[in-house]
Amino acid sequence: MVWFLQKVVLEHTEEIMSRFTHDTMTFKFAYQNNEIEDWLTFANDLIERRESMSFDIKQSDKIDYLKTFFTQPFEFRLATFMLMNRLLPDSARQAYGFCIIKSQFILKDKKVVCPSLFVNGQTKGRKGIHKEKLNRNRIVIEMIKQGKPLKEVCELVADKYNKSPDTIRREHERWYQANGKIYEKMNSIKLRGK
């Protein structure tokens, strides 16, 4: 009886070793931590369990559903290694992808910078409203076309939008530096020098 059990264990171990060869990340991770037999058996059990699971995309936005695929942080790390060697079953790959997307949204909401997940922090300063700048600059251009001097135009627009005349002037100068020459050529008009 003992001989039969040893044979079954040996066959199971050979099956695991054929799946996790020496060049797989899972094997390297287990070898580095001196836990080859335990971790590879655990990884093999995870693969067998996930092969029997199916992924329901309708429930993919629920974190509790995604946790059924990865019940511990260690399982998620093993899934990463198995994904590198194409050992992760389809259902688990889909769940893994949705976990990454969900993580990106959570990190972005909490304003955490994580370059490896392409989550960037908020830019410093106030968030500018681009449309308002465009509207103010359009009015400045129209008034300059009418022949009014830039200083007077900036004061009028500043009063209308409750901004500083210097702010209006700087916005217009930035726009002119980036687009002014092209605008003058296309419209056959001179915005400077009036």
By C-alpha distance, which of 45, 124, 132 is closest to 82?
45
By C-alpha distance, which of 43, 12, 11, 15 is closest to 27?
43
| Pairwise CA distance, residues 159 & 168, whole Å | 10
What is the b/e burial string over 120-138, where b = at least 16 CB atoms within 10 angstroms of the residue's CB? eeeeeeeeeeeeebeebbe
What pLDDT score was predicted for residue 124?
66
| Pairwise CA distance, residues 91 & 68, whole Å | 11
Residue 69 amino acid letter: F
What pLDDT score was predicted for residue 100?
87
By C-alpha distance, which of 52, 30, 54, 50 is closest to 41?
30
| Pairwise CA distance, residues 44 & 37, whole Å | 11
- Which residue in this structure is represented by tokens 């901004």? 163
What pLDDT score was predicted for residue 193?
53
| Pairwise CA distance, residues 173 & 30, whole Å | 61
For 10, half-sphere exposure in the C-beta direction (CA atoms, 13 angstrom radius) is: 6
What SS3 class is residue 20? coil
pTM for the predicted model, two decimal places: 0.53
What pLDDT tens digit does each residue of the chain (194 aa) get?
A: 444 434 434 454 566 666 777 788 888 888 888 887 787 888 888 888 888 888 888 887 777 887 788 788 888 888 888 888 888 888 888 888 888 888 888 888 888 888 888 888 666 666 667 788 888 888 988 888 888 888 998 899 999 888 899 998 998 888 888 888 888 878 777 777 54
Structure tokens at 44: 């093999």
Q: Which residues pair with 119 in a beta bridge?
A: 114
Using only C-alpha atoms, the chain has a radius of gyration, in whole angstroms, of 31
